[in-house]
Amino acid sequence: MSMIFRFEVVIKCPMADVFGFFRDIEKHTGQEGTVVPIYDKLTPGQAREGTRYREVVQLAPFLRGEMISEVTCYQEGRRLGYQFSGLGMDGELNYFFYEVGEGTRVVQEQSLRPHGILRLFSFWIEAMFSKAAEKRLESIQILLERKQK
């Protein structure tokens, strides 16, 4: 059973800057408020299809877990897609980028599939993840807009 999420934000920055931030996300981890304190690129060079990452996700104040992700779609300036697994679940993540009058609209579409006993906790996982993912996208918006000033 998959949980499906969709988040959207308009970031008042040029699309090239916003896409570059998401493309090079490993350079921006460990910042205040992030749920991803560690994000290591395992594949050398610029992000592209096949690039792999290891991320440590902060699930609760004293609980961390590891995820492995791989870029499955790379369309410069338009889309980044990933598959990921770890913490007893797997899923897909896609970011879409659209130029709008006031900046860049970022759409995040994501699915999660818990496995084994975690399926029993799907309701709580969905609620916690939804809140954390939305907050993370808003934090990125604030960070990028501050850099523009």
- Cβ-contact 67, 86 below 8 angstroms: yes
Only one residue has tokens 């290891």, namely: 54
CATH code for the part of the protein at 3-148: 3.30.530.20
Q: Where are the domains of the chain?
A: 3-148
CA 66 to chain CA mean position, Å: 14
d(CA 103, CA 117): 43
Other CB atoms within a 10 A radius of the CB of residue 108 amount to 20
Is residue 20 predicted with pLDDT exceeding 70?
A: yes
Q: pLDDT (tens digit, 9 = 90+) per residue, 36-59?
A: 667 889 999 999 999 999 988 766
Residue 84 identity: F
Q: pLDDT (tens digit, 9 = 90+) per residue, 57-81?
A: 766 666 678 999 999 999 999 999 9
